[in-house]
Structure 1
C-alpha cells in the first residue's frame, strides 16, 4: 500500500523496506462455457484465456488451465463431472488440466498464487457460489483476479466493482431462469414432449411445429408422443394400471403377472419396480402433456425430488392418445397413497373409500364413538373399528363388490 506519510530520511536501502516476495508468482486460468447459452467452447475458452492473460505479469504464462463446459448455476460440487472423452471431442485449442473442483483441490499443492478469470460470472452465475470459491482460495493465500476489473484505485472501489458484477450475474441468472421456465411451460401447454417417451409411446418430430435453430445452425425440432408401433404396449400399460387401481397390487405382484405372459406384456430387458411404479404415476398416460413434475435443478443427478402436484403444468386438452382416463389415473394415485400409508390409521379406510368410489357408492360418516365409527356406504351402514385393520377393510370391499 502506498502512503504519503513516509520516514523523514531515506530508508530504501534497508533489507525490510519493501515486502519480500516469498515465492514466484504462479497463475492458473479459470474459465467456463455455459451449456445454456449454446456457446462454442472452441471459440469461447481461447477468448477467455486471451482476456485473462492481460492480468499476467510481463513474461509470465499460465501454469495450468482449469475450465468447464457446464451451467454456471451448478454448485461447485457438481461442476467438472464431464468425462475426459467429452472434453477431448470439443476440439478446444486450450489444454485442460481439470475443472473447478480440480482447481480447488490442487491449487495449494501446486503452489498456485493467483487464479485469473475473464469475469466473475465465469466462475458461477450464482453469487453465493462465486463468493464461496473466492473465500476457499483466499483462505489458502491465493488471490482471485478478474480481467474485467479496473487496475489500481482503492481496495473498497475494487470490491464494490466486483460485488456489483456478481449481483449482475445473479440477476441475469434469475432472468434466464424465468424466461427458460416460461418457454418450457409454453412448450408443454402446446403439446410438445419433454424428456423420454413413456413405455407405451415413442417420440416423433412434429413437422407442423416451428423449428428453432441455434446460432450455430443446429435445429432443435419439437417432438410429440405417438403410440408405440407395438400395440401390445398400450394394453400392457392399461393392465398394470388396472391392477393397481382395482386390485390394489404392489409393484412386485404386478411384475409377477406381467412376466408370466411376456408375449402379451413385452418389455426390453425386464420389468422392474421403478418401471411399474413410474408408469402408474405418470400422468402423460392420460393423453395430456405434463411438465414440472420433478425439481431437476435440485437434488442429486437421477434423484430429483417430485414437485407438489399443484406446481405441475398440464396442457389444456389431450394432445396424444390416452392409455387411461384422468379419473382412472387419479384413482390409481389414491390407491398408491393408501398402500404407502401401510399400517397408518387412514390407510385401510382410504382403500374402502377408493373401492366405493369405483363402484359408484357414496361414503358418509354417520357417527363416531370411542372405539368405532359408523359409515353409510350406499344404502348400507357399516361399523368400523378404530383403527381399521387391513383384513376388515378387505372384507368390506369384498362385500361391496359382491352386492354390486
Structure 2
C-alpha cells in the first residue's frame, strides 16, 4: 500500500516525498486507518518495523489540517535516545508543516531544563518526553495539558521493565479523559495488558512479527570461554574491510571501556556508549558512528531499542543478554530497511541456558561454531547441563591470553567441577 492512498494533507505528503517514503510497512498499513478514525490502539511490533511513522503521520496530519490550541500530542518513551530519535523524525516529516515540537529529557546542557520549561508554557504542538523528566516539569505546575488530544506510549514494555508504571499513571491522571491513546510495544506480557486496561478505551489491536528477527539477518554463535572473547573479536575482524559499521553489545557497563581500549590497540576506529556518559557525549558518539567516523561502537542495552542507524553490517553480542527479548532488539539494529546483516553471539558455559531461551523465543536453532583452533578448545553447547547455574559474579571480564583456561578436552564441565565460581 502506498502513502498516496491515504488522505494526507499536501504539507505532510511533501515531507514524505522529501524523505523518500513511498510504500507503507505492514504496521503502518494496519495502524494508520485506526488512528485516522481517532480510535484507541494497541500495536505490537518489534523495532525497525516503521511504527514511529505509523503514529506520527496521522497525528501530524490532524495538526496540519486543523491546528492546535496548545499541547496537542504527548509522546512518552523510555530513553533519551528514543526521545531524540522520535523528535528527529517529527522534524523530518513536518518540515513543510506549521508544527512545533520539543524533546523533554534529563541530562544534556545546563540550559536544557529552561528551554523545556519555556516550550511547555507556550504549548508546543507535540511533546516527546521521558516519564521522569516530564513529571519533574509537571510537578512544578506549569504547562497546560488540558488540550492534549493524543497520548502515545512508545516501547511501553521497556518503560514498565524500567519501573515507570506509577510515573505513567501519574502523568495520565493529568490529561483529559477524552483523548486518543495509542500504545506501541514490542511484546505483550500481562503487565502491558494491565496498563492498557487502565488507560485505553475499547482499543483496536495490531500485531506484527512479534519478537522474531528479520529473515535477512544471518545469525551464528561461537562457543567460547570468557578469556577467549577478545582474541576471537580480533580474529573475526582481522580484515577491517569486511564490515563498514559494527555494533558490539555487552551486558555490563564496566566492559565498555575495556573492550574499546582493546579494539583501539587493534587499530580499529572504536568508541563506546553507556548511561555513564553525559548526554552531549552520547550524542557525539552516536553522530560519529552514523557519519562513519567510528567503525565500531560498543554499547550496553541502552541502544538495543530505539536507535535507528542505517547501514549497520554486523551486530556482535559480546555477552548473551539476560532477557531473550533483548536479543531480538539487539540484532534488529542490523538488516534494516530491507538490507541484509550479520549477528554473532559469544556463548560461554554460564550463558547456555539463557541462549536456549532465546532459541525457543525465535523458534529456530542458531548455528554454533567453535573458536578457531589456535585460540584453544571450546565449550560444548549443552544447555540442560548448565540449567539453573548463575551468570557469574557480575564482575567485568578479565583480559586473558589465548586458550580457554582449565578445560576438559573440549567437553562441557560438569556443574560440580567448574572452576568458575557462581
Same fold (TM over 0.5): no
- TM-score tier after normalising by the smaller chain length: 0.3 to 0.5
Q: TM-score, normalised by structure 2?
A: 0.34
Higher Cα Rg, which structure: 1
Q: TM-score, normalised by structure 1?
A: 0.36
